[in-house]
């Protein structure tokens, strides 16, 4: 996988900062924290976080003021997820108008926060390069169309099967972990086991003998790799 995303947590509540730092670290993120907008600004001078988790109500400069200032600065601004005790519609609208990307009222479930962070990171990620059709024996798979074709006709793929095969086809010969694939397909909340199920189904459609795969290989302890061939 690529290096874990760096999250900057900004909240004046020391206990919440500690809890979020520990929990998000356990979720696989790199985390740094600040107790105020001023400290966050200082950290942003030498850090380039992938996402900000930002409390709205802080002494001095508020979270909304910081978001506005970052956007007014003209530079690139990472995705911002606001945390606040105010959950009324007008408060959420105000957060989005200030430039935030998501809004989570307190109290919240840490797992929901992690899922929202992953969703924001996926949306912010650059689109993968387009991949041309790949040969899988007598079949040809078009990642852009999500179609698996034989000379005799098209093999029907479910949406999940097509998305998984496209993710593998964009990086042929590269081992992709279950976690990476689940994140690319937006299946974090379902679990990595769902990837195994999709792989089993795909093999039935692309392999002459699914028990001895020629194209879609398991790399024990690491994940899966697609090896196209004629």
User: How would you class 132 by CB atoms within 10 Å of its CB: exposed for 0-12, middle for 13-18, buried for 19 or more?
Assistant: exposed
Cα→Cα distances 182→9, 22, 40, 177, 195, Å: 25, 23, 31, 9, 7
Cα→Cα distances 8→29, 151, 182, 189, Å: 10, 52, 24, 23
pLDDT of residue 1: 40
Residues whose CB falls within 8 Å of the CB of residue 62, separated by 6 or more in sequence, listed in order: 37, 56
Question: Could you tell me the two tokens for 10?
Answer: 């900004």
pLDDT tens, residue by residue, 18-45: 999 999 999 999 999 999 999 999 999 9
Average pLDDT of the chain, as a whole number: 86
Q: Which domains does the chain have, with CATH numbers?
A: 6-124 (3.40.50.2300), 134-226 (1.10.10.10)
pTM of the model: 0.58
pLDDT tens, residue by residue, 43-100: 999 999 999 999 999 988 999 999 999 888 877 788 999 998 876 667 777 788 888 8
Q: Which helix (H) or strand (E) holds 105?
A: strand 102-105
C-alpha–C-alpha distance, residues 81 and 89, integer Å: 16
């Amino acid at each position: 996988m690529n290096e874990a995303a760096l999250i900057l947590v900004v909240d004046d509540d020391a206990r919440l900062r500690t809890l979020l730092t520990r929990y998000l670290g356990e979720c696989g993120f790199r985390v740094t924290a600040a107790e105020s907008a001023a400290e966050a600004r200082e950290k942003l001078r030498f850090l380039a976080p992938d996402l900000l988790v930002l409390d709205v109500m802080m002494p001095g400069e508020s979270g909304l003021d910081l978001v506005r200032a970052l956007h007014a600065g003209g530079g690139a601004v990472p995705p911002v997820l606001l945390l606040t005790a105010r959950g009324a519609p007008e408060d959420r609208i105000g957060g989005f108008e200030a430039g935030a990307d998501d809004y989570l009222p307190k109290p919240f479930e840490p797992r929901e926060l992690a899922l929202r962070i992953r969703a924001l990171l996926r949306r912010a990620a650059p689109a993968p390069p387009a991949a041309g059709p790949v040969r899988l024996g007598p079949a040809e798979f078009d990642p852009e169309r999500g179609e698996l074709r034989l000379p005799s006709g098209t093999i029907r793929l479910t949406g999940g099967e097509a998305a998984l095969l496209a993710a593998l086809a964009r990086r042929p010969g590269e081992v992709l972990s279950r976690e990476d694939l689940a994140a690319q397909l937006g299946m974090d909340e379902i679990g990595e086991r769902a990837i195994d199920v999709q792989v089993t189904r795909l093999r039935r459609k692309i392999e002459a003998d699914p028990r001895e795969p020629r194209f879609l290989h398991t790399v024990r302890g690491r994940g899966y790799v697609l090896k196209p061939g004629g």
